[in-house]
A = this chain, B = another copy of it.
């Protein structure tokens, strides 16, 4: 489709975008009315909102519209999964400049739709307005299926910390891309399209996780959220972390300790959780540390092999 979204107009763009959306069992009433209707069999609905802003969270010269769509959907669906819920649907708020090519918006929608398909969720509705900068705002919904939501605040001393999914892959891919390379492909792909382990969220809840979150800001930063909310300390055993040989190779090539990516790289949306020590964890959950009693002020809440990790983990969106 040729032309800009300004030429196509609001209603034309909505029509085109809506036509790209597949159905999903949970979406009882999709786009086109005052509001959508989504199944919530549990009698509770899990809901999370996140925004991606051009220039801040993505660049059009680095990411395709399709990849931005995949990423935007993934980070929201992962938040829902990290509560122990099965994602059901999402709503999309989209700010687009009038001069944006229609194809960009359509490819974004394809990315969102495809990521929804991976999670067996649907696009239930949305809103589009014209603005100067592209902004993708997504609210994802999910169903707990009778499980209690797993918050960040239930970790207890003696619990083990385990993770499933990818850690540091997106950061390694970013390092590759920012040096102008396009391979190794697996890491570049991981940066462009995270693959959150959606089923691990409900599975972790069913296994009895006491606290759970997805790794969006970096392992240390996200475990710090759990440690703070649970009023505990968490120690990570670095030897337990998986550093693939190829990631070590990239680290050597660009002069970065790959452990840095694994400990501080966000955006892979791995799922990390605390479990009572007696929990029999399936093989795909990798034990990486333990929960300890809190210590005094000024002591880091998350340590690596008993010591503070020298580099800052995570980041403040307003500080940059």
Contact = CB atoms under 8 A, between A and B. Distances in A.
B149 A29 contact: yes
A35 interface: yes
A141 to B, nearest CB: 7
B9 A56 contact: no
Interface stretch (A122-130, A181-189, A284-292, A297-305): A122-130
Interface residues of A, number: 72
B316 A51 contact: no
A35 B318 CA distance: 21
A220 interface: no
B82 A49 contact: no
Contact of A129 (B40, B47, B51, B128): B51
A35 B141 CA distance: 9
B229 A32 contact: yes
28 contacts: A29-B149, A32-B229, A33-B83, A33-B229, A34-B82, A34-B152, A35-B46, A35-B79, A35-B83, A38-B44, A38-B46, A40-B42, A40-B45, A42-B43, A47-B91, A47-B139, A49-B92, A49-B93, A49-B139, A50-B93, A50-B127, A53-B130, A53-B131, A56-B130, A93-B139, A128-B317, A129-B317, A137-B137
